[in-house]
Structure 1
């Protein structure tokens, strides 16, 4: 028995017990009625009405029981079941009416005749109740089967969903690794290209002839007296800053002017003027 089947079976068992208890209660009332030796005709009508109400209540309870069962897992058999219930209780009501009609006619003549009719009615009640319980048993079996099938399908769907999720995660992980490898290869290629470009630029620069001659271009050596090293206060860091601004020689310094020198070296204009005065001296 599956985990889902156990509570469903328990619920059906409880409902069957309720139906049987209702049947026993009704039979007990009939047994009590059979034990009455004398019944006033005025009280007979009241008893008939009371038992008729009990039949109506039993019919309504049975409809409720079947509706609650069908609500758990809709079934196409529900309308047929309700129709069968109405037919069953219709026959019971007919039997009940006939019984009391005959009872009124026979009551004064023979009490034994009334007991016989009462027994027939109880037997009919037992038969119809058994049919009802068999019908609800069929509904129970179908309901349990449908629940088990649905549970199995749900488990299979969850398993397929988990498998799909695992595959997607694997694919994402593989694609992420491929992208990282591609980026690394591109970075290496870019670095190699930059190195090749620098090498080609240097080679081309060395091969360009000096204007007015056929000699290739070579690095121009600047005389120490023409460099900024001869100016007091201009150290290597300041020379680098000035060089980035295009001021690499004494001539560059004097032509630049105090404002441009101060801005390039990040010093005051007065300091720049002192450097320029040293360069012009």
Structure 2
């Protein structure tokens, strides 16, 4: 990019020189076109100045530094000198061209020399800006590379830490699962023991009730063995069962009258 811009400046310089050469030919041919040629070359100076400013602005936008303002000032001073020389040149030509065309040629050469000198200064300034830009870019690249390495190192450390924490959590969950399983097994064993105890107590209680005369229907007057079997088939096997039953159920199960059933219930309640 810098090479392209410097080439553009040099081309502008060559075009301006060519304009001066053409102007000298025109001055030799006719003095009547002197004012028009002077205005034309002044416009060329303005365009060259604007183009140089544009080049510096483009460079500053891509690679910010403290030099663009100095560059603009140098450009303006340079072109101010060129414009002054240009005006003096045409003033001298206007006064002397009729007497000595060679004097105009000499002044033109001085102007071209001044243009070459100022253009060389601009090119040297461009090289300086380019060197500074390359140095800044290299330094910035090194800083970015260092930051990337630090970021990668931090990421690796975080991943290691996360992996360790994940392993610890997995171990903890596994231990808790084992404890829960062990506790559940203990509960099942305790429940089984309680169930067995309840069953044993129920069997003992039922055995006691079945063998205790005070709780069997043998103590009820009027209920014989066959009747007891009939009542037992109906779910009435003990005194308590008879107390809880109603006369109709007892009468139907034993195939007796309701009055007999009521009498049995009253004996059971007594």
TM-score, normalised with respect to structure 2: 0.69
2:30 counterpart (32, 40, 53): 40
Report whether the alignment pairs 1:82 with 2:60: no
- Greater mean deviation of Cα atoms: 194-203 or 40-49: 194-203
2: CA distance between counterparts of 1:82 and 1:37?
33
Unpaired stretches in structure 1, ≥5 consecutive residues: 1-10, 211-216, 227-249, 256-279
2:55 counterpart (53, 65, 68): 65
Larger relative contact order (Cα-Cα within 8 Å, sequence gap ≥ 6): 1
Unpaired stretches in structure 2, ≥5 consecutive residues: 211-234, 242-252, 255-270
User: Could you say which residue in structure 2 is the equivalent of 1:99?
Assistant: 89
Q: Secondary structure at the match of 2:178?
A: helix
Cα offset, 1:70, TM superposition: 0.4
- Greater mean deviation of Cα atoms: 130-139 or 168-177: 168-177
1: CA distance between counterparts of 2:128 and 2:115?
20
Cα offset, 1:155, TM superposition: 2.5
Cα offset, 1:188, TM superposition: 1.1
Structure (1/2) with the larger helix percentage: 2
Figure out how many residues of one structure are paired with residues of the other and give that number.
214
2: CA distance between counterparts of 1:193 and 1:139?
80
Q: Secondary structure at the match of 2:137?
A: helix
Q: Secondary structure at the match of 1:172?
A: helix
Cα offset, 1:67, TM superposition: 0.2
Instruction: For 1:70-219, list aligned pairs within 5 A.
Output: 70-197=60-187, 218=200
Q: Secondary structure at the match of 2:64?
A: coil
Cα offset, 1:143, TM superposition: 1.2
TM-score, normalised with respect to structure 1: 0.67
Cα offset, 1:146, TM superposition: 1.3
User: Could you say which residue in structure 2 is the equivalent of 1:274?
Assistant: none
2:21 counterpart (20, 24, 31): 31
- Greater mean deviation of Cα atoms: 156-165 or 122-131: 156-165
CA deviation map 1:124-148 (0-9, x unaligned): 0000000111111111111111122
User: Could you say which residue in structure 2 is the equivalent of 1:21?
Assistant: 11
User: Could you say which residue in structure 2 is the equivalent of 1:231?
Assistant: none
2: CA distance between counterparts of 1:160 and 1:53?
57
Q: Secondary structure at the match of 1:42?
A: coil
User: Could you say which residue in structure 1 is the equivalent of 2:216?
Assistant: none
User: Could you say which residue in structure 2 is the equivalent of 1:51?
Assistant: 41
2: CA distance between counterparts of 1:135 and 1:73?
14
